[in-house]
Amino acid sequence: MRLAPLAAVLSLLTAPVLAQTGDDTVTTFTLPNGMDAVVIEDHRAPVVVHMVWYNVGSADEPAGKSGIAHFLEHLMFKGTDELEPGEFSEIVAAQGGTDNAFTSRDYTGYFQRVAADRLGLMMKLEADRMRDLVLDSEDMLTERDVVLEERAQRTDSNPGAIFGEQRNALQYLNHPYGVPIIGWKHEVEKLTLQDALDFYGRFYAPNNATLVVAGDVDPAEVEAMALEHYGALEPTPGLEARERPSEPPQVVPRRATYTDERVSNPYVIRTYLAPERDAGDQETAAALTMLAQLLGGSSQTSLMGRTLEQEEGTALYTSAFYSGTAYDDTTFGVIVMPTPDRTLEQAEADMDRMIETLLTEGIDTAQLERIKGQVRAAEIYGRDSLQGRARTYGVAVTSGLTVEDVQEWPAILEAVTEEDILTAAREVFDMNRSVTGYLARPAASEEVTQ
């Protein structure tokens, strides 16, 4: 603890801003330069997860520069005015730590998992690359090839992923959520060093970042260390709230069929534009979360699983899914993968019938109670994962929610009524907000050639 004496002095010099939250293991503070922080205490093992989350993701990219947020995430490992390319990860590894990063539509995050007494060093490293990235054009070109290989591996080699990209583009005609996070290939191929530096200079700043520290730490010491390492970084002036182009009214259902010889089990998938969790206003999202569980959560006990998979035996797999944590409007999805003897048209009819059944016959009270019990249990099980807890807060705050919203969420889920769910269902199941997709196999399959 070489840093402790200095840290103690620093914390005396600043106003005490450590704030207790609704969960006694979680505290928050904000540095004078605008950097927010969430500290999660867990003293079971001498381990810490250190994360910095930026309020910027693929949905914040300039038009024509798709993939720049993710490309920059790769370039963040390419050196600073103080570090050689690759040295960041080498230093973390030399401490027995692991590090990585991730980019999504609304956020970009960087993390290290190390022994708890290495936290100060991690902060020093992460603070260094927040403002002082140094890029070399040859490294940039090589890394662009790596990203193109990543795209080829994750998307272009996978028919489901290719189709997902197309369906998403259909769902969002105008909002940038329609653009893939990894970027369109023809645009990624043309990204430049300057594109990366422009994006970096604007968005990578303490007033656009949240520090999340979880593990065997003392919040006051974390604050002192954060002030020492992040406190001197210059904020970006004039960063406004994120305003993305919004969707025009949708007046027709949208449909697409993608056929690929690599498809093994065809399916029908439909997504509906749906509201997301908003700060202080999470009730509709909570009802949609429960709706997804009731309609297609458990493959044994949900409405679709019980009826289509178990009783009728017409589907191999069914699911309903909704994730409310997003900055702008998200989607509610339903999928039915029929048994091989059924067509996609029949599978879609099954899907429609299940939605209709839910709307007309109402909610299975016992099933709702079962789901609420599992929500309560998930809170207990979830406490076992340091990284999971840190991530929950990071995703929430970069999606426009507050720490209080995160902590109120379980109680809001618990309070959802059958009527809330039906109201949300009637609202969300509107074909004029939908995209229906068939992932299909070519008509002449290999049976013909045998």
Partner 1 sequence: MSLMRNLFVAALTILPLPAVAAVEIQEVTSPGGITAWLVEEPSIPFVAFDIRFKGGANLDDPGKRGATNLMMGLLEEGAADRDARAFAEATEDLAARFGFDTYNDSVGVQVEVLTENRDEALRLLRDALIEPRFDQSAIDRVRDQVLAGIEADARDPQEIASTTMSALAFPDHPYGTALEGTRETVSSLTRDDLMAAHAAALTKDRMYIGVTGDISAADLGPLLDTLLGDLPEVGAPEVPTATYALDGGVTVTDFPSPQSVVLFGHEGIMRDDPDFFPAFVMNHILGGSGFASKLMSEVREDRGLTYGIGSYLVPREYGAQYLGQFSSSNDKTAEAVQIVRDIWADVATNGVDSEKLDDAKTYLTGAYPLRFDGNGQIAGILAGMQVQGLGIDYIATRNDKVMAVTAEDIQRVAARVLQPENLHFVVVGQPEGLATGGL
Residue placing its CB nearer to partner 1 in the complex, 215 or 219: 215
Minimum CB distance to partner 1, residue 60 (Å): 24
Residue placing its CB nearer to partner 1 in the complex, 125 or 227: 125
Please give the torsion angle defined by the CA atoms of residues 222, 224, 227 and 229, in that order, rounded to the nearest 10 degrees.
-70
Minimum CB distance to partner 1, residue 200 (Å): 19
- Set 61, 73, 223, 228: catalytic member: 73
Residue placing its CB nearer to partner 1 in the complex, 347 or 428: 347
Minimum CB distance to partner 1, residue 69 (Å): 17
In this structure, are residues 429 and 352 in contact, taking their beta carbons and an 8 Å threshold? no
Residue placing its CB nearer to partner 1 in the complex, 120 or 437: 120
CA angle 178, 285, 425 (to 5 degrees): 90
Minimum CB distance to partner 1, residue 433 (Å): 31
In this structure, are residues 77 and 86 in contact, taking their beta carbons and an 8 Å threshold? yes
The burial of 407, by beta-carbon neighbours within 10 Å (0-12 exposed, 13-18 middle, 19 or more buried), is given as middle
Q: Which amino acid is at 171?
A: Q
In this structure, are residues 227 and 10 in contact, taking their beta carbons and an 8 Å threshold? yes
Residue placing its CB nearer to partner 1 in the complex, 243 or 446: 446
Residue placing its CB nearer to partner 1 in the complex, 59 or 292: 292
Backbone φ, ψ for residue 291 (5° rounding)? -60, -45
Minimum CB distance to partner 1, residue 450 (Å): 12
Backbone φ, ψ for residue 297 (5° rounding)? -85, -90
In this structure, are residues 235 and 36 in contact, taking their beta carbons and an 8 Å threshold? no
Residue placing its CB nearer to partner 1 in the complex, 176 or 296: 296
In this structure, are residues 236 and 205 in contact, taking their beta carbons and an 8 Å threshold? yes
Residue placing its CB nearer to partner 1 in the complex, 10 or 101: 101
The rounded distance, in Å, linking the Cα atoms of 430 and 432 is 5
Minimum CB distance to partner 1, residue 82 (Å): 4
Length of the chain: 450
Minimum CB distance to partner 1, residue 145 (Å): 3
Minimum CB distance to partner 1, residue 285 (Å): 22
Q: Is 73 a catalytic residue?
A: yes
The rounded distance, in Å, linking the Cα atoms of 252 and 353 is 20
In the sheet with 209-215, reading across from the earlier edge strand, the strands are 19-20, 26-30, 36-41, 209-215, 47-54, 108-115, 98-103
Q: Name the residues annotated as catalytic.
A: 73
